[in-house]
Structure 1
Amino acid sequence: MTGTSIHIPTLETGRLRLRAPRLSDFEPYAAFRGSERARVFGGPFPREAAFDQLAELIGHWALRGFGRWMVADRTTDAPLGVVGLYHPEGWPEPEVAWSVFETAEGRGIAHEAALAARAHAYGTLGWTTAVSLI
């Protein structure tokens, strides 16, 4: 039997683990995507759309060979947001993108995770440029 396998590396920082999204991340992810905080992304979104968006995180890895990770607390594994490398069709160039859940706001989580994602992009993937569109 043959098939397709997707490799999503795990990165660690002092406080964080950047890892593949899991079904167990869905409730906090859906709460974030359904909140007013998601207005900057076109939300709030219903749960069904949030599920599709969570699945899209994994699909980006399959199509581009890079993508966004679920950011989790390194000690508890509690999901804190989504950070990583993003380049959808029509985007001007690859981006280091982030969004953090309300519980992670103001703690430097996005900064710490974005630095790890950028280091992966430049050091592992050989990128020479990236943007962050806010």
Structure 2
Amino acid sequence: MNYSIPESINTARLSLEKVTIEDWPSLHNFYKDVEATRYTTGHPLSEGESWRIVAALIGHWEIHGYGPYTLKLKDNGAVVGVVGLWYPGDWPEPEIMWSLVPGYSGKGYAREAAFAVRQMAAECLPQLHLISLIFEQNLPSRKLAESLGATLEQRFLFRDKEALIYRHLSPAHPGQPDSCENADQCDQAV
């Protein structure tokens, strides 16, 4: 299949790679973790459940022509999370999503990766109006969205929880951060 976006993106410290079934063992370690799933699935997943999630991530690429990436450290290949474009059937609009494996927060990886995804989406899919759907209690993700220049647009009930929609503007929009090449700048956010 021809995809609408690149199957991989590289940043200074990270490799973002289209999710494949080979990623499942590493991603299962992520999805079985209580802290990692607190604001995503809401609970740790069994092997079968995490396999179905990875299948959904792979299928998303086939349905939409874009999707989430497995987030890996360039220096050692460690899987540190998932980041990318996400638009399942019950989402209000396409979003930039991110989730990190516990222990990798606070190093700027999510911001560096989300920034790269936003830049790529502006180039490859300029017609998309991107959001980030964040549960209200998820303060680190709210801070990250704001550090990317996204603005709180709406509060609403989503899957029986209070959720927020943060709107991402085009990177060319005045006031949007236009660089994340300095790792120190990226370290200030999630």
* TM interval, short-chain normalised: 0.7 to 0.9
Equivalent position of 2:55 in the other structure: 55
Q: Cα distance, 1:34 vs. partner?
A: 1.1
Do 2:20 and 2:58's aligned partners in 1 also have CA atoms closer than 8 Å?
no
Ranges in structure 1 where 5+ consecutive residues have no aligned partner: none
Measure the CA separation in 2 of the matches of 1:42 and 1:77.
Answer: 27
How far residue 19 of structure 1 moved from its aligned partner, in angstroms, is 0.4
Deviation of 1:66 after TM superposition, in Å, equals 0.9
The residue identity in structure 1 corresponding to 2:110 is: A
1:17 maps to amino acid: S
Q: Which moved more, 1:124-133 or 1:53-62?
A: 124-133
Is 1:90 the equivalent of 2:98? no
| In 2: Cα distance, 1:131 partner to 1:81 partner | 19
Structure 2 Cα separation of the partners of residues 24 and 120 of structure 1: 24
Partners of 1:9 and 1:109 in 2: how far apart? Answer: 19
2:132 aligned with 1:108: no
Question: How many pairs align?
Answer: 130
8 Å CA contact retained: 2:85, 2:97 = yes
Q: 49-58 or 33-42, which moves further after superposition? A: 33-42
Tell me the equivalent position of 2:43. Answer: 43
Deviation sequence 1:46-102 (CA, Å, 0-9, x none): 011101111211110100111100011112221110000011112111100000111
**Residues 6 and 61, structure 1, Cα contact 8 Å, conserved in 2:** no
Q: SS state of the match for residue 102, structure 1?
A: coil
**Equivalents in 1 of 2:60, 2:128: separation in Å?**
20
Kindly, what percent of the aligned residue pairs are identical?
34
- Contact 2:21-2:55 within 8 A present in 1 as well: no
The structure carrying a bigger strand percent of its residues is 2
TM-score, normalising length: structure 2: 0.63
Q: Within 5 A, what are the aligned runs for 1:11-90?
A: 11-37=9-35, 38-40=37-39, 41-90=41-90
CA deviations on 1:22-49 (whole Å, 9 max, x unpaired) are 4443233112211212132232110111
User: CA RMSD, aligned part only?
Assistant: 1.6
Q: TM-score, normalization: structure 1?
A: 0.88
Taking the aligned partners of 1:59 and 1:122, their CA distance within structure 2 comes to 23
Contact 2:68 2:85 in 1 (8 A): yes
Would you identify which runs of 4 or more consecutive aligned residues in structure 1 move more than 4 Å?
A: none
How far off its partner does 1:133 sit? 1.4
Answer with 1 or 2: which has the greater Rg. Answer: 2
Contact 1:121–1:127 (8 Å) recurs in 2: no
Which runs of no fewer than 5 residues in structure 2 stay unpaired? 135-190
After TM superposition, the structure 1 stretch with the greater mean CA deviation from structure 2, 124-133 or 46-55, is 124-133
- For 2:92 and 2:51, how far apart are their aligned partners in 1? 26
Rounded to whole Å, the distance in 1 between the matches of 2:24 and 2:70 is 11
- Whole-angstrom CA distance in 2 between matches of 1:78 and 1:23: 16
State the secondary structure of the residue aligned to 2:77: coil
